Chains A and B, each alone.
Chain A
Amino acid sequence: MTRKDLLGIEELGREEILEILDTADSFHEIATRPIKKVPTLRGRTVINFFLEASTRTRTSFEIAGKRLSADVINISPSASSLSKGETLIDTARTLDAMAAECVIIRHNMAGAPHTIARLSSSRIVNGGDGAHEHPTQALLDALTIRQRKGRLDGLKVAIVGDIAHSRVARSNARLLTKLGSEVWLCGAPTLLPPSLDGMVSENRHLLRATSRMDEALDGADVIMMLRIQFERMSEPRFPSIREYCRYFGLTRERVARAGSDVIVMHPGPINRGVEIASEVADGPFSVILNQVSAGVAVRMAVLYLLLGA
């Protein structure tokens, strides 16, 4: 990979995406070894700079870095200087002066990693910025789909839930349409984005939106469920959880509308009984835990491709 940073799926080409996924496949095997460590990034420093609560992604990056023998340092919101009034740009300069090879940034505001990337000689990986992008999530989702389906083109993928506030939906819609799959965004009209044209920049004809869940699920190869992001809402977007479940909750009956070999995904954290019924989350079609293990492999691949070559 020739780019300095990994900030979003938007700017990645098809070949770059496949390079990351192929590399991740080759790292998958390391997780099955008794000693899950290779010396590839020995002596390199990776900073996990997470300004928004995260367990899954932070831990996944930490494990990925450590399996590659990098020194991994975690900076959490309470320990960070931003809570002491430091500007983002001073934080970026400070991180830069520490000369870490790579900084993973999660921030609750869109574009923060991009601002830091412009000012920093460290390689920046976007670990999720506001409602903008979460590139490694989309990559690990793609890896999971490819492992199960053998391909990433010609599939029907339904993404259901709070699309408007979801960086996962944006990154996934961008990646999957780039690679030739049809993506259906499904949610209440109040939870769909203002402009479908802004969701993807290529293969726009592969992106559809609907507020009828049955239409999105009909014959789907992949169902991705999303959490409702109440924390990003300044006013109510639907009347009640009860009514939300009625129209957008994934039940066993609804899964039956999809293809017989459908896979059910969720980036987590899941809210059982809200967007997904327990029997579906734990059921035979669920690949939710496979996503988690794919996450470590994808993040190893990203760190390796940015730092290791």
Chain B
Amino acid sequence: MSDLLIRNGRLVDPARKLDRIADVLVRDGKIAAIGGNAALNVPVFDATGLIVAPGFLDMHTHLREPGTEEAETIATGGAAAVAGGFVAVAAMPNTKPPNDNPSITSYMVAEARRSSPALVFPIGAITLEQKGEALAEIGEMVEAGAVAISDDGKPVMDSQLFRRALEYATMFDVPVIQHCEDLNLSRGGSMHEGVYSTRLGLKGIPSAAEDSIVARDIVLAEMTRSKYHVAHLSTRRAVEMTRQAKARGIRITAEVTPHHFTLTDAAVAEYDTNAKMNPPLRSADDVAAVREGIADGTIDAIATDHAPHHANLKMLEFDRAPFGITGLETAIGLTFTVLKLPIDHAVRMLSLNPQSILKVTPWGLFETSDAHLTLLDLNRSWKYDVTATQSKSRNSPFDGWDFTGKAVATIVGGRIVYRDTP
């Protein structure tokens, strides 16, 4: 089972200082050999002209199961993930009920094994019901399979409680992921506060809402010596503070979404509810700062914040529509087309860094590794058609966009779970 010979691809794994054309032999779902291989009695995948990389991991998704299955399920989210080149996703805990206890964590793990072509790593809630009042059973969730804790979407506003969460999490060595938003500063806002919010008459969410929580959390992370991770960072000041904190040796990591390095608040101009997300699309200067943060390594990971919503909810007035867009299928296209990220840097941000932040059992292009692989055609031109999405939802602002660079095969445990041919 799960034997495969991947022939003649360009193997890129910067953790192993690997960048050369060679074959990969997969036996029993694991990498058995790297190098030239004689003809063997196994299926052959011709990877001539393709990149073979350690499988991509999206460390920030919302799979909506349990509770909002009309928008997404673990099965459909997993299908969208592998179609977008991700072998694995981490799933945020804002399900219904929230993943704040080991029974929900276990359910997600079991359901993923049953129905998802992608690996799913649950993220447990920091606080019970994500209410920011009492700690959830973090240890039990970690034992059930949670790889991090976060109240994503609902920042922990109580500084003392957040300090305790950071301290307590060190016992399990899991990162604490914060959605940085001062809820008082952002109250009632539906887009970035600035020229466009003024023009459109919409209440703004100032950059200060994000910056003030990043600042507070850096102080607390330093005090508690914990592993702290900034989710979907979006402002210039947040990039600067993260850079400074890293220079001081604080254990901080950060991620950015493809939409925050691609779009500005100008995208809201026609009250397009698919340009409504949280954090909101920011100014052109913020986008420039985020790109600088990617280039100099301040930002560790690209994560999609895949947030499917049923079409009914995006048919509302801009103020009433929910925040969030889908992202699993467009992340690679945006990374190579808009960001034009060099391949080794992309592999770090989309695979190696998320793996090490979440401390999952590492995979890569080395013998004995689980054969979780993403195969890319960097020259492939394609157009995103949201009606053909594997996700249950279609709330993407990138419908009809032209991209160069695509995942053409996704391999999980040696099995080809997604394959696209031109």
Contacts and interface: CB of A to CB of B under 8 A. Distances in A.
B317 A111 contact: yes
Contacts of B318: 109-111, 115
Contact of A198 (B195, B312, B320): B195
A194 interface: yes
A195 B191 CA distance: 14
Contacts of A10: 199
Contacts, number: 74
B272 to A, nearest CB: 9
Interface in A99-132: 107, 109-112, 114-115, 118, 129-132
Interface in B305-321: 312, 315-320
A110 to B, nearest CB: 4
Contacts of B202: 110-111, 130-132
Interface in B173-212: 187-188, 193-204, 206
Contacts of B187: 234-235
Q: Max chain B CB contacts within 10 Å: which of A167, A194, A201?
A: A194
Given A194-B197, A235-B187, A111 B315 contact: no
Contacts of A132: 200-202
A198 B319 contact: no
B312 A111 contact: no
B201 A167 contact: yes
> Lowest 7 A-B CB distances belong to which pairs?
A198-B198, A132-B201, A111-B271, A131-B201, A110-B201, A198-B199, A109-B317
Contacts of B158: none
A114 B270 contact: yes
B317 A112 contact: yes
B351 to A, nearest CB: 40
28 contacts: A87-B312, A87-B315, A88-B316, A89-B315, A90-B315, A109-B318, A109-B319, A110-B318, A110-B319, A111-B201, A114-B270, A114-B271, A118-B270, A131-B201, A131-B202, A132-B202, A193-B198, A194-B198, A195-B195, A195-B198, A196-B198, A197-B195, A198-B195, A198-B199, A198-B200, A199-B198, A199-B199, A234-B188
A196 B320 CA distance: 26
Nearest to B193: A194
A129 to B, nearest CB: 7
Interface string B281-302: 0000000000000000000000
A141 interface: no
Given A194-B204, A198-B194, A115 B199 contact: no
A193 to B, nearest CB: 5
Given A89-B315, A198-B194, A198-B195, A110 B200 contact: yes
Contacts of A109: 317-320
A88 B206 CA distance: 28
B343 to A, nearest CB: 40
A199 to B, nearest CB: 6
Interface residues of B, number: 24
Contacts of A193: 198
Interface string A159-195: 0000000010010000000000000000000000111
A133 interface: yes
A131 to B, nearest CB: 4
A194 B195 CA distance: 8
Q: Max chain A CB contacts within 10 Å: which of B195, B316, B317, B318?
A: B317
Contacts of B312: 87
A10 B193 CA distance: 19
A2 to B, nearest CB: 20
Contacts of B198: 193-199
A235 B203 CA distance: 13
Given A87-B312, A170-B201, A235-B187, A107 B195 contact: no
B316 A87 contact: yes
A11 to B, nearest CB: 11
A198 B196 contact: yes
A107 B196 CA distance: 20
Contacts of A201: 199
Given A132-B200, A133-B201, 8 more contacts: A87-B316, A90-B315, A109-B319, A111-B201, A193-B198, A195-B194, A198-B200, A199-B198
